[in-house]
Amino acid sequence: MFARASVLGEVRGVRIHSPLGFTLDLEARTSRAYVIDRPMFDRIMFHKAVDSGALPQLGTSVRRVTQSHSGAKVETRFEGSTKLTACSCVVGADGYKSICRKEADLPAPKHMLTGIQADIKGADIEQEFVQVYLGRNIAPGFFAWVIPAGDVARVGLCTWDARELPVNYLRKFLTRPEFRGARNVSTTSGKIPIGPGSSAVSGRILLVGDAACHAKPLSGGGVYTGVRGAELCAEAVDMFLETHSEPALLEYDRLWKEEFGKELSRAFRIRRVFLNLTDKKIEKALRIFAEPEVRRLLEQQGDIDYPASLASSVLRLAPKLAQFSPQIIESLL
């Protein structure tokens, strides 16, 4: 792993809590995910980019991006001064509020999650296991989580189309017994765009990461798709700079769709099923996942980066799941 120094721990299992009290444990024999120190990870990525020849402009903000048939221009601001830079193409890695996406007239995300997370010390949690809590009164439109991260626990949630702010749901969640006596070390919040459009390229502008809405619809995670998407984008840009042929930039769309586009599409369809489930139906679905053959499949073949890839196999083992949304589930087979 190229950013090993940022790893705080490893995870080999998940415990999913239904709104009505049932729990589903999925445990692998080996670690399935890393818990990272994100600021440290970002610093490592930054220094690797500089070592590879990138020229950082710290303290500089992008104000505007324009493009024409012959190239693009980026307007930046630094210490009160404005500068206009011409370039062959622009890669927008500028997050959920992407200026580049707006200028390129590329689609906004289908759903925008709003999230909050607290790092707390002194919580009574199990190491190597992520806890996931479902329910419309806990985190409407998504879920709450507890992640062991070294000497702290990351406790957070995301919501979508909720009646209250995420911070109100988090306050309620932190009243659970396992957090009694724990203290909050830090709190972060933000938004996660999920559900990409059919293209991440328009003219001389290409989008990666949250700007491209490439976060995973089922987990909200975006590190893998962000890093892998950037690598694929770099391949297309390299080809464009060598050939000076604008269609080469469109190769990026083919590459990311082939690599993880189908996964994102399938996962978003599963999300639509989830959004229509009542708390009672969530309980019923988890009990089906707990059936021995289904649980064994999930534990042995589940992939955190491609969680929807098992959809057709699970449905063949447990056709009862089709009751929750026959039309959408049929499309996953």
Least confident of 129-143, 242-256, 305-319: 305-319
Query: Is this structure's pTM higher than 0.85?
Result: yes
Least confident of 82-86, 161-165, 291-295, 322-326: 322-326
Residue 1 has pLDDT above 80, yes or no: no
CB distance 322 to 312 below 8 Å = no
Provide the β-strand partners of residue 13. Answer: 27, 129
Average pLDDT over residues 138-157: 96
Question: What pLDDT sits at residue 126?
Answer: 87
Q: Which residues contact 239 (CB under 8 A, 6 or more apart)?
A: 248, 251
CB distance 145 to 154 below 8 Å = yes
Residue 246 has pLDDT above 60, yes or no: yes
87/104 Cα distance (integer angstroms): 15
User: In the chain, what are the domain boundaries?
Assistant: 4-39+111-194, 270-332
- Higher-confidence position of 326 and 260: 260
User: Coil, strand or helix: which one is 111?
Assistant: strand
CB distance 173 to 159 below 8 Å = no
- Higher-confidence position of 286 and 317: 286
Q: Does domain 4-39+111-194 have CATH number 3.30.9.10?
A: yes
Residue 283 has pLDDT above 60, yes or no: yes
Average pLDDT over residues 33-56: 93
Average pLDDT over residues 116-129: 92
Average pLDDT, the chain: 93
Average pLDDT over residues 247-274: 95
pLDDT tens, position by position, 184-237: 999 999 999 999 999 999 999 999 999 999 999 999 999 999 999 999 999 999
Question: What pLDDT sits at residue 217?
Answer: 96
Question: What pLDDT sits at residue 258?
Answer: 97
Least confident of 1-5, 93-97, 114-118, 240-244: 1-5
Candidates 193, 312, 299; CA nearest to 262 is: 312
Residue 43 has pLDDT above 70, yes or no: yes
Residue 131 has pLDDT above 90, yes or no: yes
Candidates 4, 8, 7, 11; CA nearest to 302 is: 11
Residue 329 has pLDDT above 80, yes or no: no
Split at pLDDT 50, 70, 90, the class of 4 is: confident
Split at pLDDT 50, 70, 90, the class of 326 is: low
Average pLDDT over residues 250-276: 95
Residue 76 has pLDDT above 70, yes or no: yes
